[in-house]
Amino acid sequence: MSAADLSTPLKFAYWVPNVSGGLVVSTIEQRTSWDFDYNKKLARIAEDAGFEYALSQTRYAASYGADKQHEATSFSLALLAATEKLKVIAAVHPGMWHPGVLAKFIITADHISNGRAAVNIVSGWLKDEFVNFGLEWLEHDERYVRTEEFIRVLRGLWTEEGYSQSGKYYDINDFTLSPAPIDVPGRPHPEVFFGGNSTAAQATAGRVADWYFSNGKDLEDFKDNIAGVQASAAQAGRHPRYGLNGFVIARDSEKEARDTLREIVAKAHRPAVEGFRDAVQEAGASTKDGKGMWADSTFEDLIQYNDGFKTQLIGTPEQIAERIVEYKKIGVNLFLTCYLHFQEEVAAFGTDILPIVRELEADAARSAGVDFDPESTLAAPASSTAGVR
């Protein structure tokens, strides 16, 4: 397992609600909108509240009730232009994009935002999006073969001149993208996040991702995920960092928070959740070892479609902060969070939960005999091979 980094503050991200219906498939009231004005205000609230990242979803067709969707890269670019500090991560599917086109797009976004553009490379599960676009739908593990090549092309074009790469899916011949991405100290190129849970996803992430992003997990399951990524990262001499999804329900009392979860579940949109459950069989459950994302998710888990209840960030601010720091101790570097009422709850996270997290992080570091520097950033780049040209 990777050693926890107790000297560096945890980072926080939120899911950009760029698809309709909120982040739970339930008819409970969600004061969250998918439109741009709402999101612009949310992004500014988030950066003021201490969030370092925002993650947009890529979705082309209705699923889990999200019947309207804004495109991730354009939406992310607009959010970058509307903010000062926030790093915005756009989710992208290999197979929908050529990596050279994406590399160029992200360089432009990086220049517009002064070095705040990032990507989340996701290998996909919604077969109909590909098939109905007339694109090839690869079998599960093959998707990761393409994803690995895709990320290598991105990194090559961002960091080298005259870059060439010849593989099964891409052939790049002596290509130089100019300008290069912005030169940010400690960042060899725009950060590459990678979402996935299966054995193939973990192995691939270890070889090429800067950040491994997981669906919600309990502590034991997340330890297993980290170990899986770490095993392949060690062979490649790399040190990826770890991000975990969690749905936050912070209330004055634990009972109130639990009651809110019960109401979300009681008001679940059953046909939409069941349709989603059927569609995600294309993901982890279809793998040879059946260990992928959503493979062991119950109906209740799937109501938050990235298994966010499993992380159990549910209770009072103190309870949630304690839970967050427990995850830090097993190796989590970043929490990806979602809420019922994004604007209000992201702001409340910053005032009510974050200060307690920082205190507990300082305590944890002290107990382990390491210095905690609240200002420090994660300095070690994940890839020791990438140079900045």
Cα radius of gyration (the chain): 20
Contacts of residue 335, Cβ cutoff 8 Å, sequence gap at least 6? 10, 11, 12, 13, 243, 244, 246, 313, 324, 327
Stretch that binds ligand FMN, among 53-61, 96-104, 111-119, 178-186 (CB under 6 A): 53-61
The pairing of strands 53-56 and 117-122 is: unpaired
Q: Which of 39, 215, 297, 383 binds ligand FMN (CB under 6 A)?
A: 215
204 interacts with ligand FMN by CB under 6 A: no
Stretch that binds ligand FMN, among 96-104, 175-183, 196-204, 249-257 (CB under 6 A): 196-204
Q: Which of 203, 283, 302, 314 binds ligand FMN (CB under 6 A)?
A: 283
Backbone dihedral angles phi then psi of residue 207, each to the nearest 5 degrees: -80, -30
Q: Which of 213, 222, 242, 349 binds ligand FMN (CB under 6 A)?
A: 213
Stretch that binds ligand FMN, among 39-47, 115-123, 153-161, 175-183 (CB under 6 A): 115-123
**Cα 258 from Cα 253, distance rounded (Å):** 9
Stretch that binds ligand FMN, among 198-206, 344-352, 354-362, 367-375 (CB under 6 A): 198-206
DSSP state of 380: S
**Cα 200 from Cα 233, distance rounded (Å):** 13
95 interacts with ligand FMN by CB under 6 A: no
Q: Which of 8, 18, 26, 57 binds ligand FMN (CB under 6 A)?
A: 57
The pairing of strands 117-122 and 211-214 is: unpaired
159 interacts with ligand FMN by CB under 6 A: no
15 with 23: CB under 8 angstroms? Answer: yes
Binding characters for ligand FMN, 129-158, by CB under 6 A (x = yes)? ------------------------------
DSSP state of 304: B
293 with 197: CB under 8 angstroms? Answer: yes
Q: Which of 124, 190, 308, 350 binds ligand FMN (CB under 6 A)?
A: 124
Binding characters for ligand FMN, 223-262, by CB under 6 A (x = yes)? ----------------------x-----------------
DSSP character string of 237-288: T---EEEEEEEEEE-SSHHHHHHHHHHHHHTB-HHHHHHHHHHGGGSGGGST
Binding characters for ligand FMN, 292-331, by CB under 6 A (x = yes)? xx------------x-------------------------
197 with 221: CB under 8 angstroms? Answer: no
Nearest distance from C-beta of residue 262 to ligand FMN, angstroms? 25
**Which residues are at the interface with ligand FMN (CB under 6 A)?**
57-59, 91, 120, 122-126, 195-198, 200-201, 213-215, 245, 283-284, 292-293, 306, 336
